[in-house]
């Protein structure tokens, strides 16, 4: 606290000092103003002053916290690397924009009362500021060195807290808010420190109109999916003590019901926030709970800020920190059951604009990132064993989806609770046909150029073995797919989709060409320059790997979801969780069984699913670092672009499953009813 008081006092005086030369004075004044705002915020929260504010006052305060990086102000924000470089110069602009981005984490630390994290942010700013005091401008290298050692010196603390927060019920900031707040009073949304808009308020208000029975039913679909996931994979849920809940704000009423239901199962909830320290971020992805995203372009522009410190020493330091943290909390790790995730859809799809001055990973750093991710995955799996954990994911729309939100919401609830037994029987018909084949041929139509051959595993005992999992509504809600891990050898051809959204990024005319099951060539038409198209895919689909294997081939059967998408014109707003059930989909990266390949899995008919490996995942027995990629990206061909799916038997004869976007296999025709209604 003494260090905090000294730092706070020093920062309060910066605006009057005028000690910094030229254009840098405004940067430090504006950033210091933000930090003074954070100091005042922390003190108000600590003294309980915010509890008496009206909803309108809370809205204004929340807007002020995020105003600088909102789209309408981003053009003149130091959080914008292009603007920072245009004012401060190329090198200094990049570094100081990174510093500004890291300091914005103080909003969270103020709300959570994390005084240590708050303090090191203040001291980092003051250390950089001191370099600029005087008549001479410091070299970019001296500024870079300060930022580099900040990350490295505190890496252990940042990583350890992050790991603990995902497993320890005692770190219960969010759980206490959810369980103790008056959820009928929307002021509760402003107690988390996240950006809140009309969207989150309207979502929470809508959930308040639902009966307790409806809320409990929504939560039960979610929690039962999690429980059944353990049962269907033969895992013992009674050995687990915690469940990691991830969700988007506005759904607290459902989450409260889910917490109560999980506790009835003997599972204590752990709800942790999306990462704030750069050390723990994974590009622009948000893993944990979060509110509105103030500006997706801002997140995208800072996705590679690790370029300022990523080297072999940092990789070693972070991996040691992870190993030490998991060893320290190994009992908590052993009790972690896995994630239970509530996703949202309906927000405006994000199409990024290239930022020329944003940080970029060098080729060497890309390799280091891949290596670090592989090693990190192995550490996690040693303590949170994939063969002992499960998960579940469900999705709901938000009001941004349009004026028919309430209708779409109720349609989604129906989709999430479709007849389990009906789909199980129909999907078994597909599996029985697929198991006759040695490969599958998929083609597109109406401008979709897909022409792809998928090799299947050989069944040594077809009476007791199968290649495809009959996926009904448990871990992967809603119901509606059969999937397998293909054989890579002789899996080849072109996968093409005219428009698709992956991880909230749009791709136009995405093409992936496979040779022996691995991506050999790729492109899209997002940008005029081909090199930018290649870089976009390399970074966001390949995740800096030279290539990725085809880890999954699936056939989606949820034509009811497809009908809803077409009826309401929301096809481009659905999450992959639902979109993957609306046609055949192909995942690049790890298989669906990664880290748990040796755990036997059975379909409802009692047959063992033997296609849990491919030629690359089998390398785990020699070197796990060569077997896993830490990514699994699903790409769906919608029914309207689908020419045919045909099973090819060993003797060359064929069994057609889908023709011109309609199911033609005997026993599956009922799936066409939803499509014909269009």
Q: What is the pLDDT of residues 40-95, one digit of tens each?
A: 999 999 999 888 999 999 999 999 999 999 999 999 999 999 999 999 999 999 99
441-480 core/surface letters (b: 16 or more CB in 10 A; e: else): bbbbbeebebbbebbbbebeeeeebbbbbbbbbbbbbbbb
Contact call for residues 410 and 357 (beta carbons, < 8 A) = no
Enumerate long-range contacts of 383-387, CB under 8 Å, 24 or more apart: 383/326, 383/327, 383/330, 383/333, 383/334, 384/333, 384/334, 384/336, 384/338, 385/595, 386/594, 386/595, 386/596, 387/235, 387/595, 387/596, 387/598, 387/599
CA atoms lying within 13 Å on the CB side of residue 367: 3
- Tell me the pairing of strands 465-466 and 662-663: unpaired
Residue 337 CA to residue 267 CA, distance in Å, equals 8
Q: What are phi and psi of 510, to 5 degrees?
A: -70, 130
Rounded to whole angstroms, the Cα distance separating 163 from 155 reads: 12
SS3 (DSSP) at 289: strand
Whole-number Å distance between alpha carbons of 197 and 107: 16
CA distance 119 to 98: 18
Cβ atoms of 424 and 635 closer than 8 Å:
no
Burial status of residue 678 (CB atoms within 10 A of its CB: 0-12, 13-18, 19 or more): exposed
- Quick one: pLDDT at residue 553? 98
Strands 242-246 and 336-345: parallel
> Terminus-to-terminus CA distance in the chain, angstroms?
65
Q: Strand 451-455 vs strand 465-466: parallel, antiparallel, or unpaired?
A: unpaired
Instruction: At 224, list the tokens.
Output: 């039962």
SS3 state of residue 199: helix
Over the chain (678 residues), the average pLDDT of each successive run of 10 is 96 91 94 97 92 95 98 98 97 98 98 97 98 92 98 98 98 98 98 97 98 97 93 90 98 98 98 97 93 97 97 98 98 97 91 92 93 93 93 95 96 90 94 98 97 98 96 81 97 96 89 98 96 94 95 96 93 86 94 88 92 95 87 93 97 97 96 88
CB 243 within 8 A of CB 267: yes
Is 656:521 a contact under the CB 8 Å cutoff? no
Strand stretches in 456-504, DSSP E: 465-466, 469-471, 481-484, 487-502
pLDDT of res. 253? 98
Q: Specify the residue for token string 């198991």.
A: 435
Give strand pairing partners of 454. 440
3-state helix, strand, coil in the chain (%, to 5): 50, 20, 35
Q: State the pairing for strand pair 518-523/505-515.
A: antiparallel
Q: What is the pLDDT, as a whole number, of residue 133?
A: 93
Q: What is the pLDDT of residues 340-391, one digit of tens each?
A: 999 999 998 888 898 999 999 999 999 999 899 989 999 999 999 988 999 9
CB-count burial class (<10 Å; 0-12, 13-18, 19+) for 184: exposed
> Measured on CA atoms in the order 165, 166, 168, 171, is the torsion positive or negative?
positive
């Amino acid at each position: 606290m003494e260090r905090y008081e000294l730092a706070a006092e020093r920062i309060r005086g910066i605006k009057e000092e005028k000690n910094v030369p030229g254009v840098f004075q405004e940067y430090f004044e504006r950033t210091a103003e933000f930090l003074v705002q954070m100091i005042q915020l922390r003190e108000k929260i600590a003294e309980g002053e915010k509890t008496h504010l009206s909803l309108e006052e809370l809205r204004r305060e929340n807007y002020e916290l995020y105003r600088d990086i909102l789209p309408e102000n981003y053009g003149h924000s130091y959080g914008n690397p292009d603007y920072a470089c245009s004012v401060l110069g190329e090198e200094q602009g990049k570094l100081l924009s990174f510093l500004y981005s890291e300091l914005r984490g103080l909003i969270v630390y103020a709300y959570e009362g994390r005084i240590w994290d708050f303090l090191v942010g203040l001291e980092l700013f003051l250390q950089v500021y001191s370099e600029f005091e005087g008549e001479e401008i410091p070299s970019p290298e001296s500024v870079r060195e300060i930022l580099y050692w900040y990350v490295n010196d505190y890496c252990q603390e940042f990583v350890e807290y992050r790991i603990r927060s995902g497993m320890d019920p005692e770190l219960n900031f969010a759980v206490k808010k959810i369980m103790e707040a008056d959820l009928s009073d929307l002021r509760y949304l402003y107690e988390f420190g996240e950006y809140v808009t009309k969207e989150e308020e309207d979502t929470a208000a809508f959930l308040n109109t639902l009966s307790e029975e409806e809320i409990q039913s929504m939560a039960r679909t979610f929690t039962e999916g999690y429980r059944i996931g353990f049962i269907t994979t033969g895992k013992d849920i009674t050995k687990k003590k915690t469940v990691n809940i991830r969700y988007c704000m506005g759904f607290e009423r459902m989450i409260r019901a889910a917490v109560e239901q999980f506790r009835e199962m003997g599972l204590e909830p752990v709800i942790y926030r999306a990462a704030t320290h750069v050390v723990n971020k994974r590009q622009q992805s948000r893993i944990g709970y979060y509110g509105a995203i103030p500006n997706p372009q801002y997140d995208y522009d800072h996705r590679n800020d690790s370029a300022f410190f990523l080297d072999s020493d940092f990789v070693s330091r972070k991996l040691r920190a992870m190993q030490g943290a998991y060893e320290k909390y190994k009992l908590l790790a052993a009790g972690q059951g896995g994630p239970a995730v509530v996703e949202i859809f309906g927000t405006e799809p994000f199409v990024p604009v290239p930022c020329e001055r944003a940080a970029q990973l060098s080729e060497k750093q890309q390799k280091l990132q891949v290596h670090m991710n592989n090693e990190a995955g192995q550490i996690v799996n040693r303590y949170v064993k994939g063969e002992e954990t499960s998960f579940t994911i469900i999705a709901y729309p938000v009001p941004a989806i349009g004026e028919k939100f309430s209708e779409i919401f109720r349609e989604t609830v129906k989709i999430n609770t479709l007849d389990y037994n009906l789909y199980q029987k129909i999907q078994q018909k597909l599996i029985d046909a697929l198991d006759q084949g040695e490969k599958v041929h998929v083609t597109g139509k109406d401008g979709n150029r897909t022409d792809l051959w998928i090799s299947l595993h050989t069944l040594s005992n077809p009476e007791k073995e199968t290649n495809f999992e009959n996926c009904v509504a448990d871990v992967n809600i809603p119901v509606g797919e059969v999937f397998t891990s293909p054989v890579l050898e002789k899996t080849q051809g072109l996968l093409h989709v005219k428009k698709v959204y992956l991880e909230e990024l749009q791709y136009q005319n995405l093409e992936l060409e496979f040779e022996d099951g691995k991506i050999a060539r790729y492109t899209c038409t997002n940008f005029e320059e081909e090199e930018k198209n290649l870089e976009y895919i390399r970074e966001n689909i390949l995740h800096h790997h030279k290539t990725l294997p085809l880890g999954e081939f699936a056939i989606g059967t949820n034509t009811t979801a497809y009908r809803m998408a077409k009826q309401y014109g929301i096809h481009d707003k659905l999450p992959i969780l639902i979109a993957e059930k609306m046609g055949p989909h192909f995942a690049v990266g790890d298989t669906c069984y990664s880290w748990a390949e040796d755990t036997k899995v059975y379909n409802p008919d009692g047959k063992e699913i033997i296609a849990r490996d491919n030629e690359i995942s089998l390398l785990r027995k020699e070197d796990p670092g060569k077997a896993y990629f830490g990514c699994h990206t699903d790409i769906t061909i919608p029914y309207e672009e689908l020419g045919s799916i045909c099973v090819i038997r060993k003797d060359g004869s064929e069994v057609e499953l889908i023709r011109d976007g309609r199911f033609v296999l005997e026993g599956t025709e009922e799936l066409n009813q939803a499509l014909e209604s269009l």
